[in-house]
Amino acid sequence: MKQSATFSRLLLITTFVIFSQTASALPKPFGKAVNPGDYDYVETKFRGENQEAARLNVVKSLERAKMDDRRMRVYVPPTIDSSGVDLAEIVSRNLTKVAFESGVDIIDSELPVTLRKKLTSYEKTQQPIAADAEKADFIITSRLVSANASKEFDSDSERLEAGLKGKSGCEVKANLTLDLKLYSLNPLELDEAFFIDHEFENFYEGVKSCESVTTDLTFKEAIASALDRKAAELKNAFAPKGLIVDHRVKKNKHIFKTSFSARKGAAANTDVAVYKFVKTHDPITLKTREEKVLLGTGKILNATDPDNVWIQLDKKANASEVRLGDIVEVQHENCSNFSLNLGKNCFVKEKVLADKF
């Protein structure tokens, strides 16, 4: 156990040093302040044939953005525990942490009585219901469906036979299932559902039996690990979204102005994606529908503009394909891949979590 703790401390120190070096090595446009005034305007059209109609739609969007220039507000009510293991508080605490890290404002842990009744009604009918959205924009509910743990002692000979290193000890495995639901308000309806089935294990080296080993810590780490694996999807549900409203260039470096500000929770160097909508014809229903098509990815610049976020696309993206009014969305890193690539948003978290597997 002492060796393991020492190794963890060394790993954290090494990770910090590598991450610090990586941060300093980030591309200069993303590291130092960028003044959009130093860039030349690029004449850019709106998407579609009717340029005036497209322009008016963007104007309306900008007016709405000015009226609602704030972070998303979220209710995170207490977790419902159907597992019988009494882990609701731990799930709630970790879920609130993930929501907070996504840049939202946590309004309250308890739903107002009227809103709680409307949510119950919606769950029965699955029909959108008018709801007061003055205090919050979303509700995220959680239910711990099941949680089970098992303990098994591994002797020296058993570990040697299995090709494992280290001394004998107790292996604790936890399996849990979480049901998360994200509801938007005005009207109240289901936006996204996340069903998480997760396995996690700990090994307590050097203990003589499993009798002295509890499952408490393994359950706690299993819950944190499960929500970490879904953190990117949860955060992206709350991530700032807006439109491309300006295009400028300097020495072949193209930058784009968005319709939202950093006050929405968009930090410099955060990943973004730019999309266009294209109309497609469904041969089955014979109806026309719109589909999102990715134009490119990039990062938020450290711009001197206090009112609008500016972005720069990656080299692979074709800046000439971007039009005014195209959609831009903040994209949080998916830490479930455990890629350990330098410069990634979740690099430190991956290195720390990887030590547990």
Is the residue at 115 inside a domain? Answer: yes
> Which residue, 178, 203, 238, sits at the end of a domain?
238
Assess whether 144 and 286 both reside in one domain: no
Q: What is the CATH number of the domain that holds 161?
A: 3.40.50
Other CB atoms closer than 10 Å to residue 142's CB: what's the count? 23
Q: How confident is the model at residue 67 (pLDDT cuts 50, 70, 90)?
A: low
Q: CB-based contacts of 167: which residues, under 8 Å, 6+ apart? A: 156, 159, 205, 206
- List the structure tokens of 168: 């004998």
Q: Are residues 198 and 78 in the same domain?
A: yes
- CA torsion 271-245-263-227 (nearest 10°) is -30
Torsion of CA 168, 169, 175, 176, to 10 degrees: -150
Total count of domains within the chain: 2
Residues 179 and 215 in one domain: yes
Question: Do 84 and 169 fall within a single domain?
Answer: yes
271-300 burial, b at 16+ Cβ within 10 Å, e below that, comes to: bbbbbbeeeeeeeeeeeeeeeeeebbebbb
Q: Does 244 lie in the same domain as 232? A: no
CA atoms within 13 A on the CB side of 23: 13
pLDDT of 338? 38
| Torsion over CA: 74, 78, 84, 87 (sign) | positive
Residue 163: pLDDT above 70? no
Residue-averaged pLDDT of the chain? 79
**Is this model's pTM higher than 0.75 or not?**
no
Tokens describing residue 26: 């980030």
Residue 153 has pLDDT above 80, yes or no: yes
Q: Quick one: 83 and 224 in the same domain?
A: yes
Contact 85, 114 (CB under 8 A): no
Task: Report the share of the chain in percent with pLDDT over 70.
Answer: 80
pLDDT, greater one: 349 or 313: 313
CA distance 270 to 303: 13
pLDDT in tens, 234-268: 878 877 888 999 999 998 899 999 988 877 767 78
How far is the CA of 155 from the CAs of 171, 172, 207, 210, in angstroms?
A: 11, 14, 10, 11
Give yes or no for residue 3 having a pLDDT over 50.
Answer: no
Task: Name the residue type at position 353.
Answer: L
Q: Which of 238, 265, 280 is the last residue of a domain?
A: 238
Token pair, residue 90, equals 């731990």
Is 89 found in the same domain as 219? yes
Q: Do 41 and 82 belong to one domain?
A: no
Range of the domain at 245: 33-68+240-331
- The string of DSSP letters for 222-281 reads HHHHHHHHHHHHHHHHHS-EEEEEEEEEETTEEEEEESS-GGGT--TT-EEEEEEEEEEE
92-106, 152-166, 269-283: least confidently modelled range: 152-166
- Highest mean pLDDT, choosing among 10-14, 65-69, 178-182, 207-211: 178-182
Inside any domain, residue 136? yes
> Pick from 306, 232, 301: which is nearest to 263 by CA?
306
Between the alpha carbon of residue 175 and those of residues 80, 151, 357, the distances in Å are: 17, 12, 15
18-59 tens-digit pLDDT: 333 333 333 444 557 889 999 999 999 999 889 999 899 888
pLDDT in tens, 265-288: 677 888 899 999 888 888 888 888
Task: Please tell me whether residues 106 and 168 are part of one structural domain.
Answer: yes
Question: Which of 189, 221, 238 represents a domain boundary (last residue)?
Answer: 238
